[in-house]
């Protein structure tokens, strides 16, 4: 039976372990073509002779050798027989020699989006290109890529990418229909329709997608999970099993594969993939059909509650809050906003499509700014019992908003998780009868950031605090294909456990 990785909108087929690593479609076409050319030229055979032996046009064989056409397995078998090599030899993932490796790399560099955008002319890659010139061209492109990457690895570039993603999700009302469809197909195929998803259920979904789960204590720093695509394994840190909801970690890792994510080549792509993988995990944990049906009933009874949503499916309050924003506008007709705020008032995550205005940097970024002191997200920390849900109305320059905030504990500290909505939608939520009401004029500095005129006159000349400067404010974006994870440590880890 032929199997393949699922794509958006397509029901994935289970992957038999015997098929792992043996599928003809998994080979890189450029490398396959280079191996065919190497085997042919090593014997002094022309394309015309090879065409006669396999009864195919030389133009087709030329396209195959140039990586522009994928041969059928029957043709690949005939080519291997004509060249006197095995199919397995032609399908090896590495180039046949240094020359071929350099040619493949130069072709990839010359056709990259960066090179095309900069208008760099392409050099014809063929046997007449001197080897020294080939090496020099590859080295030049490597250095150019390094210089380009340095300009992108900055906090400013990261904030710009994050802001662009904010705009994209705002236009979509935080709802991604294709991921909803894929998650529904997978959950229905594995028999999960709603309620708490057990660990065994997650492992069944993983097996359905062709992966096994392995827990080890020596995962590299910065990695929550590592996916080994060669052996179809997802590695988790066994030492963190009690500290994290590993269902979510597994589903995020599966999401990257189910959504066919390529390795990110920009910080924007990295952030987008992370959002999509998180969305996929939430959509599996809280299937759309069952979740919407319950939310619609709660709305009818005017008793919408993020806490209830969290308890019903045994997920964190933050996961439930995110999921609510996915479905609220599309299915309930409710616009909303979301905030994750630290005890110092710093905004770590934010989303809004209800008109609320968050403080923003000059470049338009929200994360890293201080939330208004009058918002429920910060008032929560002033309560005697911050563990209880905190309800509040806030009058702002763009209207009055109702919000519910709750404390969440993480390794990095305590955070408030808040969901809010315009006054007209508050009627559908539990906690709408709260008497708490604050006025905020943020983002005006006079609201809660600038000191009063009396304090300014009294202390401006005498105050000299010693500031905590977080090192990440001065550092570039963490390096690596996946920012913050050391590629060398990941590869050494996979190599160490490949034979387990």
CA distance 54 to 56: 6
Reported confidence tier of residue 223, pLDDT bands at 50, 70, 90:
confident
Give the range among 146-150, 317-321, 367-371, 386-390 with minimum mean pLDDT.
146-150
CA distance 176 to 86: 45
H or E element, residue 36: helix 29-42
Express each pLDDT in 323-371 by its tens digit. Answer: 999 999 999 999 999 999 999 899 999 999 999 999 887 777 888 888 9
CA distance 43 to 84: 10
Express each pLDDT in 227-255 by its tens digit. Answer: 998 889 999 988 875 556 789 999 999 99
Closest CA relative to residue 416, chosen from 404, 431, 430, 426: 404
CB burial of 67-103 (b: ≥16 within 10 Å; e: otherwise) equals: beebbeeebbbbbbebbebeeeebbeeebbeebbebb
Q: Is residue 486 part of a domain?
A: no
Q: Is residue 99 part of a domain?
A: no
CA distance 227 to 250: 10
Q: Is residue 14 part of a domain?
A: no
Q: Is 297 exposed, middle or buried (0-12, 13-18, 19+ CB in 10 A)?
A: exposed
Written as six digits, the tokens of 167 are 């705009």
Place of tokens 């789960």: 213
Looking at the predicted structure, is the pLDDT value of residue 197 above 90?
A: yes
Q: Is residue 3 part of a domain?
A: no
Rg over CA atoms, the chain: 28
Collapsed DSSP state (helix, strand, coil) of residue 376 = helix
Q: Is 126 exposed, middle or buried (0-12, 13-18, 19+ CB in 10 A)?
A: exposed
Over residues 175-182, the mean pLDDT reads 96
Q: Is residue 133 part of a domain?
A: no
Which backbone phi and psi does 332 adopt, to 5 degrees? Answer: -105, -10
Determine the pLDDT at residue 227.
92
CATH number for position 168? 1.10.10.2910
Domain boundaries, position 269: 162-439
Reported confidence tier of residue 5, pLDDT bands at 50, 70, 90:
very low
CA distance 399 to 423: 8
Q: Is residue 379 part of a domain?
A: yes
According to DSSP, the residues that pair with 208 across neighbouring strands are none
Determine the pLDDT at residue 480.
56
Number of domains in the chain: 1
Determine the pLDDT at residue 21.
35
CA angle 269, 271, 273 (to 5 degrees): 65
CB burial of 345-362 (b: ≥16 within 10 Å; e: otherwise) equals: bebebbbbbbebebbbee
Q: Is residue 383 part of a domain?
A: yes
Reported confidence tier of residue 12, pLDDT bands at 50, 70, 90:
very low
Q: Is residue 229 part of a domain?
A: yes
């Amino acid at each position: 039976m032929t199997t393949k990785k699922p794509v958006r909108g397509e029901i994935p087929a289970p992957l038999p372990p015997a098929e792992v690593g043996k599928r003809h479609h998994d080979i890189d076409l450029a490398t396959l073509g280079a191996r065919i050319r190497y085997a042919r030229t090593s014997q002094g055979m022309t394309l015309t002779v090879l065409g006669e032996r396999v009864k195919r046009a030389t133009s087709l064989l030329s396209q195959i050798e140039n990586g522009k056409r994928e041969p059928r397995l029957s043709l690949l078998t005939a080519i291997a027989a004509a060249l006197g090599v095995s199919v397995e030899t032609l399908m090896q993932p590495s180039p046949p020699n240094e020359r071929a490796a350099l040619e493949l790399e130069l072709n990839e560099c010359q056709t990259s989006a960066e090179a095309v955008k900069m208008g760099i002319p392409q050099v014809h890659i063929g046997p007449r290109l001197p080897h020294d010139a080939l090496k020099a061209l590859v080295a030049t492109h490597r250095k150019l890529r390094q210089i380009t990457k340095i300009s992108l690895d900055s906090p400013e570039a990261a904030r710009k990418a994050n802001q662009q993603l904010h705009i994209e999700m705002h236009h979509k009302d935080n709802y991604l229909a294709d991921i909803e469809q894929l998650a529904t197909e997978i959950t229905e195929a594995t028999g999960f329709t709603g309620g708490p998803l057990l660990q065994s259920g997650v492992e069944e979904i993983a097996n359905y997608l062709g992966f096994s789960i392995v827990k080890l204590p020596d995962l590299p720093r910065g990695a929550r999970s590592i996916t080994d695509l060669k052996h179809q394994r997802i590695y988790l840190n066994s030492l963190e099993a009690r500290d994290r909801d590993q269902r979510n970690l597994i589903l995020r890792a599966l999401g990257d594969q189910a959504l066919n994510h390529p390795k990110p080549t920009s910080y924007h792509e990295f952030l987008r993939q992370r959002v999509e993988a998180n969305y996929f995990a939430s959509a599996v944990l809280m299937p759309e059909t069952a979740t919407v049906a319950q939310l619609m009933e709660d709305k009818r009874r005017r008793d919408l509650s993020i806490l209830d949503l969290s308890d019903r499916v045994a997920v964190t309050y933050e996961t439930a809050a995110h999921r609510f924003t996915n479905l609220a506008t599309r299915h309930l007709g409710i616009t909303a906003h979301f905030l994750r705020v630290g005890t110092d008032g710093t905004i770590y995550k934010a989303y809004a499509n209800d008109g609320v205005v968050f403080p923003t940097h000059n470049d338009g970024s929200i994360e890293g700014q201080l939330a208004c002191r009058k918002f429920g997200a910060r008032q929560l920390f002033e309560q005697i019992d911050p563990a209880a849900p905190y309800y509040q109305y806030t009058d702002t320059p763009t209207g009055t908003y109702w919000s519910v905030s709750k404390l969440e504990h993480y390794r990095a500290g305590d955070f408030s998780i808040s969901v809010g909505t315009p006054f007209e939608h508050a009627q559908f939520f539990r906690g709408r009868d709260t008497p708490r009401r604050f006025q905020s004029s943020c983002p005006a500095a006079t609201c809660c950031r600038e000191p009063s005129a009396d304090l300014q006159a009294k202390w401006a000349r005498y105050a000299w605090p010693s500031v905590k400067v977080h090192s990440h404010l001065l550092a570039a974006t963490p390096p690596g294909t996946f920012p913050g994870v050391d590629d060398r440590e990941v590869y050494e880890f996979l190599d160490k456990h490949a034979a387990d």
